[in-house]
Amino acid sequence: MCKRKPLQVSHEEHDRMPRTFMQFPLMIWSAPYYLRPLTLFASVLSSTLVWAEEPVSIHQILEEPRVYHLRHVIVRGTVRDVQSLAPYTVANGDPCYGAYLFRLEEDEATLSVAVLGICGKPVVRDPEVEDGDRVEVGATIQAPSHGGTILSFKGPKAVTDDEAVVQAVADRILPIVE
C-alpha cells in the first residue's frame, strides 16, 4: 500500500491558489474571528443562488410528463378545489393524517397537487392553502402511467398503463406576494 505525503503548501503558494467553492470552509475559518459570521453568510447565500430552481410551466409538464417523472420542480399558479383527505394507511401499516389535494391552475393548464399526511402520529392539520391563493409549489412530479401509485381521495392508488395521470407531490408551498 502506497502512503501519500500530506500536501505541504507555503503561505505564499496558498495565497496564489484560486479560490474555489470547495475552499469556502477554509475561507471561513481563516477569516478573523469577528468576520466569521459574515463570511459564513456570504458562502451560504452564494451557494443558495447557484442552486435556485427556475419555475417550470404546468403546460410544459403536461406536454412531456415522462421527461419530468420523479423530478423536483417549482410550479406557480392559483389554488382550486382544496379537499382534505380522510386518514389513510401506508404499506407498513402506519396511519397518515392531514393529507389534502388541490388543483394548481396556470393560464389554461391544471396540475393535480397532493400534500402527503403526517404518518404515525394522529394530528389534526388544516390545509395550508385556500381556494384562490396564488402560490409557488416545490414538488416531485409523478407521471406513473407505466405503473406506480398516486394519492387519491381513498388514499394511495395504483395506476394502470391506460391511465394518463400526472400528479405533483408537494414538499414546499409558499404564497406569491404581488
What is the per-residue pLDDT across 42-76, written as a single tens digit (0 to 9) for each? 555 444 444 557 899 999 999 998 889 889 999 99
Domain range summary for the chain, segments of one domain joined by +: 11-51, 58-175
In SS3 terms, 21-79 reads as: HHHHHHHHHHCCHHHHHHHHHHHHHHHHHHHCCCECCHHHHHHCHHHHCCCEEEEEEEE
Give the global pTM.
Answer: 0.64
What is the per-residue pLDDT across 128-174, written as a single tens digit (0 to 9) for each? 999 999 999 999 998 866 556 556 555 566 655 555 678 899 999 99
CATH code reported for the domain at 58-175: 2.40.50.140
